[in-house]
Structure 1
Amino acid sequence: FCFMSHPPAGHDPIAKVGIYDPDGTLQQSIGGEEEILPGNFIAPHGLWADSRGDLYVGEVVLASGAAARLAPFKPHCFQKFIRSA
């Protein structure tokens, strides 16, 4: 994952996390255009799933320069997504 202020042509600049099945088929995508809102991302960098299937996503908000760019908002650096049935 990386933050790009000028992504190459044809590249989706919206930061997302994809969940794939063992065959490589996308099952779910998390993230959207409003990067400051919960459930969306600025620069996702680390993933972890617990024994219940909940997903944790860490972001490198300061290193990406987003904190200065989004001031006065304080972007999230860590989010938890609870697995639903």
Structure 2
Amino acid sequence: MASSSGSKAGFIVGRKYKLVWDICSGSFGDIYLATSITNGEEVAVKLESHNARHPQLLYESRLYKILQGGVGIRHITVVWPGKRL
């Protein structure tokens, strides 16, 4: 269940997206509903701790780039701190 208590709601990610509320959390990160600061577009943002035992975001971003453009796959933008992949 989504919750805003104890979440990072209001944080700005990649100087472009403002976190609105927590969609879900799990062992491989937290997923948030976010809005673009520039145009208000709603997006999903996944955050992973720097201390993650088994980091997954880099691998997931590569997989999404391969799948992009396929049936049912939305446009994917990957933003790492300070750069866009």
Q: TM-score, normalised by structure 2?
A: 0.32
The alignment's TM-score, normalised by the length of structure 1, stands at: 0.32
Q: Which has the higher strand share?
A: 2
